Amino acid sequence: ALAEAREVEPGLAIDGRPVLGDPAGVLLDASYGASCLVVGGHGRGRLAGLLAGSVSQEVAFYARCPVAIVRGRADAAEGPVVVGVDGSASSHLAVDLAFEQAAARGCAVTIVFAYERPFTGLGPEAAEPLAEDERLRADVGRDFSQAVAHWRDQHPAVQVEQDLATGKPGTVLVD
């Protein structure tokens, strides 16, 4: 892996060493002094990853620095860089990284915000929240559009698309 990394970026100082221990624990320890931690996704699929546990998921959840999980082909030049946001400080870091990657690849950024509809019950009152759901979507959409406009202003050279979706954020991003 080191030789491959050095071949891809010959001018970059790259260090590595074998370490014994639980992979997630070793990476989490390394996250304390890191500015960013990049890990590969195993690619077992959603169900197998959940059943077997996932180093990348554990690292993403507990790391003390931003984490980028890389899956797919390194030579994938088609399509936009897709980033999920939730309004948190860490999602702002993810947006910055997405714009850096999009600028380097000469492609667009698609910013996705997914939210879950509140549970409204099963009885006759369940029909009433449709209007409330539309108001919620309008409010969320307005706030999301304002955030996207801010990011567009910060990165005028990168084309930006936005996607406001309803559903569990992880599922929306994977689908």
CB 120 within 8 A of CB 129: yes
Residue 146 carries which side chain, given as an amino acid letter?
Q
Tens of pLDDT, residues 134-146:
777 788 888 888 9
Tens of pLDDT, residues 60-99:
889 988 888 777 666 666 788 888 888 777 788 888 889 9
How many whole angstroms separate alpha carbon 59 and alpha carbon 1?
Answer: 20
CB 59 within 8 A of CB 39: yes
Is pTM, for the whole model, over 0.75?
A: no
Mean pLDDT, the chain, whole residue set:
80
Query: If 0-12 CB within 10 Å is exposed, 13-18 middle and 19+ buried, where does residue 92 land?
Result: middle
